[in-house]
Structure 1
Amino acid sequence: MGSYYFSSPDCISGDCENGCGVQEQAKKFRYEGCFRNGKAHGEGVFSSTNGHSYTGSFDNGMKHGTGTYRYPDGVVYEGLWVNNKREGRGKLIKDGVVVFDGDWKNDAPIKAPGEDTARDSTGVPNQDQGKDDKQP
């Protein structure tokens, strides 16, 4: 997801230019929160019909500050964001279990020295790593 503003926004309620309100686009995306110059700014909630959602701070239309991102597969990231990327302290939760709690850089978890765990695009460790293909 890029910046949280739309080329053809539908302001459902409030002030979606320089205030707080609710904005939707073609029933695919919804943003509830504050705006500056027509972009998400301050605290808000972004959700999409494909199951992605973010609750937290925005700056100039981007996730920036503290927030919680929920992926369609149920994985949750809680932590810091800088310009739409996971950056700084954060944790990744899958099926109610913390699978990573540490620092992030450029949208990826920073591995501990000696750690060689492969991770998927959300940062969750791959379950198949280290398994012998011949085992049932």
Structure 2
Amino acid sequence: MKFKINLKLIFQHLIVYFLITSILITSSVLTYQFGQETTIYSDESWDHLTPYIPLGYNESLGNIILDQYSHTRYSDGVMTVEQSVKWHISMGFNTFVITDHNNLRNLKEVPRKPLYLFTLWTVEFFLTTLSS
């Protein structure tokens, strides 16, 4: 049984493939170059929000609502420590972990007043090997 090669159909499929690929690449490049504006937060950005309380939360039972991975502007985050604290409170967390990369420079921004939530500072280290 011989298969007949339909060059016209193959060429049409190839054209469609290149057209779709070109559209995707062009839209990706344009989005990267002229994409979304960066959101700039202020210390008052979260003041107007009512803290979220999850269903079934009972403070007397010592429930912990934990965000175990959060960065500040000292790493690859965009908020200060105070903004991060306010954001976590407004989102209903009562505990969060700041995991900035390879530094503890954010400690100078630790609020001097008591917090309404428990904050744990940690460092996320990148270990690399040196090759000769």
TM-score, length-scaled by structure 2: 0.24
More strand by share: 1
Larger relative helix fraction: 2
* Structure of higher RCO (CA pairs closer than 8 Å, 6+ residues apart): 2
Bigger Rg over Cα:
2
Per the normalisation by structure 1, the TM-score is 0.23
